[in-house]
Amino acid sequence: MVLKLYAANRAGGGGAVVAVVLAIKRIPFEFVPTDVSAADPSTKTPELLAMQPFGQVPVIDDDGFILYESRAICLYLEQQYPSQGAKLAPDLADIRATALFNQAMSVETFNFYPFAYRVVDEVIFKPHYGGQTDPTLLSTALKDFESKLDVYEKILAKQRYTAGNSLSIVDLSHLSHAPLLARYTGIDVMTRAERPNVARVAVTEMELEAALHRRSRLQRSTATQADSPASTLIKIFLISGYTAYRLGEAKLSQHSAINWHPQRRRVSSSSHLPATVRPPSMVLKLHAANRVGGGGSVVAMVLAAKRIPFTFISTPIQPKTPGLLAMQPFGKVPIIEEEDGFRLYESRAICMYLQKKYPDQGIDLGPADPTDLRAQALFDQGLFIEATNFHPAVYRLIEEIIFKPFSGRGQDRQHLAELLHNFDSVLDAYEMVLGKQKYIGGDKLTIVDYFHLAHAPLLARICGIHIMTKPERPNVCRWWKEVVNLPQYRELLEQDGLASRKSYP
């Protein structure tokens, strides 16, 4: 059965990214136009909610296997068809290259997407849905987005693409919203002369042509058309800068159901994680804040669960010293450093690296079966559910309730009520997810569950808000009670931070 892509009929959002990856990988698909809007609950049909509990697109149906979260979908497609079309991710067996790829993906998820989205929302979506752009909010959003692009400029001065020296899923994920700005508003923030390296990587015609060229060389046997539907689609999305599109125009469907014969793989042997336990480095350093909460705590818990010795280096993030910025261009912690100088940042990428490097040591926190592409895909789906739905909702609450008063600003009660309502709706979707599976990454406890411990426990502990354990969400309640009682979290609470533990065990 041909793979189905449920997505909005527009050249933006995660659906467009998935369509581009399908095209580059030369995977036939049937496009099912599915327009949903956060502003209009009636667009979230029971059929969509049964597939995607958050009522969002894109979703794919691969012969009955339903998967959502655009980044997880792209990773799945790459693993399913590794040698078809251009290669868009490193081999999973190369754990350091994969770690740097995951680091870049996490940077895109947390440091690019939300900032690009805020600008697009203010200047495109708000007026599109009958509202008005607020010039003050737009100017702040643009300033914040540009400050992230300044850091991107530094990263891209050292490497050709966002995840290393070849075009990857990470670069393509940047296409979900940012290009809409130049197309619809003339704000060409991505190609400013003062950021030549960002402009260079803002996927240009030349780069795409090169990707297409590589693809056609690799795929001579399966695709011969010089101007195949895939290349047309990519040109529409990328090369022509979306000129063929307007919001809501029906174009994607013309390119659906492409008639190729992909060499489909069921199980990836190269994605087998190394079975051997390498001797843990005695001098792994963890740079993090000395507190319970945040990504540093999660990394410390995973280090403890995996029984990996480490030295904790208490690292303040203010002021942003040249030393900190040299290790982490955004000036954030946690960062790990191995004996031979290999450094990694972004807590989720760090935890995934530790699990892959020491799969059988301590508690196994990886997907149920790392050789099963679908189990891996559900783990990745959980990873991005947490990153794009749970984390932003809970973090905004913590900002309003804890950080704002802490920095002397007053609380806005109405805003707080809206944030609580928003988090409640995320947890309602979690209830559906957890009604079908035991944990967020599948039926097994994984690092994805640990990621939820970064901020959410503070709601009950510090603010007395017991939103995670409401009786009307019995599955969330069951899952959460187990997660907050994990011994590594209890231990962190008992020692009140990381400093008292210099190494483990």
> Which residues would be at the binding site for ligand GSH (CB under 6 A)?
8, 13-15, 36-38, 55-58, 69-70, 384, 388
Nearer to ligand GSH, 175 or 350 (CB): 175
Residue nearest to ligand GSH (CB): 13
Nearer to ligand GSH, 11 or 476 (CB): 11
> Tell me, what amino acid is at 33?
P
Question: Which residues is 5 bridged to in the sheet?
Answer: 31, 60
Nearer to ligand GSH, 70 or 256 (CB): 70
β-pairing, 29-33 vs 3-7, is parallel
Contact yes or no for 335/328 (Cβ under 8 A): yes
Nearer to ligand GSH, 38 or 325 (CB): 38
CB of 145 to ligand GSH, least distance (A): 18
CA distance 14 to 120: 14
CA distance 426 to 201: 34
CB of 129 to ligand GSH, least distance (A): 12
CB of 183 to ligand GSH, least distance (A): 15
**How many degrees, rounded to 5, is the angle at CA 270 between CA 72 and CA 31?**
35
CB of 176 to ligand GSH, least distance (A): 7
Q: Which two structure tokens, joined as six digits, stand for 340?
A: 């031979």
β-pairing, 285-288 vs 335-337, is antiparallel
Nearer to ligand GSH, 256 or 388 (CB): 388
CB of 36 to ligand GSH, least distance (A): 4
Nearer to ligand GSH, 70 or 98 (CB): 70
CA distance 395 to 389: 10
- CA dihedral (476, 482, 484, 489) positive or negative: negative
Nearer to ligand GSH, 36 or 419 (CB): 36
CB of 285 to ligand GSH, least distance (A): 32
CB of 429 to ligand GSH, least distance (A): 10
- Per DSSP, the residues of 242-297 read TTT--TT---GGGG-S--------SB-STTPPP-S-PPPPTT-EEEE-SSSSSHHH
CA distance 19 to 256: 9
